[in-house]
């Protein structure tokens, strides 16, 4: 069992881990009862499953029927610099989808040769507030190869069918339309490395 320090904006930090070896426990003593065991916490390990982290801010604007997506920054990027020929120039493409239909795709500015790119770009997508509960945002951190081919370093999905963080941020944005909701997300590798977006 891993124990984390919850952070509503950033990534949760591992505090410790408790190991319970169930093969040494006689389960007959615990059938229909609560099992209580104690032990010392071991050093925790942060979940490091993705290719980096991306901070995104969402805000719906009911007055002009739009969704504002602010791509702030990326950090802890896992880059194979020897294969890429150095630190690549990166940018983020943001796609707004309603169901399976793509409504719009926008891009941040390109940040040159940095492992912690700060974008700070506000991308405005026109969409009726009534459609937001079934919409989603897909952010892809990309770079261009020397041949001009765009490659995806990782992606984040934010919406009603996303992972825990993506679903949580989307729900908070829907529940309080006047508030900008910021959250860090783990970038996961895409199924396909190259993309035409």
85 vs 48, more confident:
85
Pick the CATH number of 52-187 from 3.30.300.30, 2.60.40.150, 3.40.1010.20, 3.40.50.150: 2.60.40.150
Q: Is the pLDDT of residue 8 over 80?
A: no
Three-state DSSP class for residue 82: helix
The Cα 45–Cα 81 span in angstroms is 25
Three-state DSSP class for residue 133: helix
- Among 47-61, 68-82, 140-154, 162-176, the range with the most confident prediction by mean pLDDT is 162-176
Tell me the CA end-to-end span of the chain in Å, nearest whole number: 40
The Cα 54–Cα 93 span in angstroms is 12
The Cα 91–Cα 107 span in angstroms is 7
Give the pLDDT confidence score for residue 70 in this predicted structure. Answer: 98
108, 113, 116, 118 alpha-carbon torsion, rounded to 10°: -30
Q: What is the pLDDT of residues 104-159, one digit of tens each?
A: 999 999 999 888 999 999 999 999 999 999 999 999 999 887 777 888 999 999 99
Residue ranges, CATH 2.60.40.150, the chain: 52-187
């Amino acid at each position: 069992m891993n124990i984390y320090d919850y952070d509503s904006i950033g990534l949760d930090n591992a505090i410790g881990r408790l190991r319970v070896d169930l093969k040494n426990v006689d389960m007959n003593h615990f059938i229909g009862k609560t099992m209580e065991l104690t032990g010392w916490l071991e050093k925790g390990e942060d979940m490091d499953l993705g290719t980096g982290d991306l901070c995104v801010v969402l805000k719906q604007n009911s007055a002009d029927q739009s969704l504002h997506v602010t791509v702030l920054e990326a950090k802890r990027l896992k880059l194979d610099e020897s294969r890429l020929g150095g630190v690549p120039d990166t940018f983020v493409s943001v796609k707004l989808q309603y169901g399976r239909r793509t409504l719009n795709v926008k891009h941040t500015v390109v940040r040159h040769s940095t492992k912690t790119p700060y974008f700070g770009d506000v991308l405005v997508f026109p969409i009726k507030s009534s459609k937001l509960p079934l919409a989603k945002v897909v952010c892809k951190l990309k770079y261009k190869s020397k041949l001009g081919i765009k490659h995806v370093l990782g992606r984040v999905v934010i919406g009603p069918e996303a992972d825990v963080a993506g679903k949580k941020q989307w729900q908070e944005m829907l529940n309080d339309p006047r508030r900008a909701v910021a959250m860090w997300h783990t970038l996961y590798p895409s199924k396909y490395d190259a993309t035409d977006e």
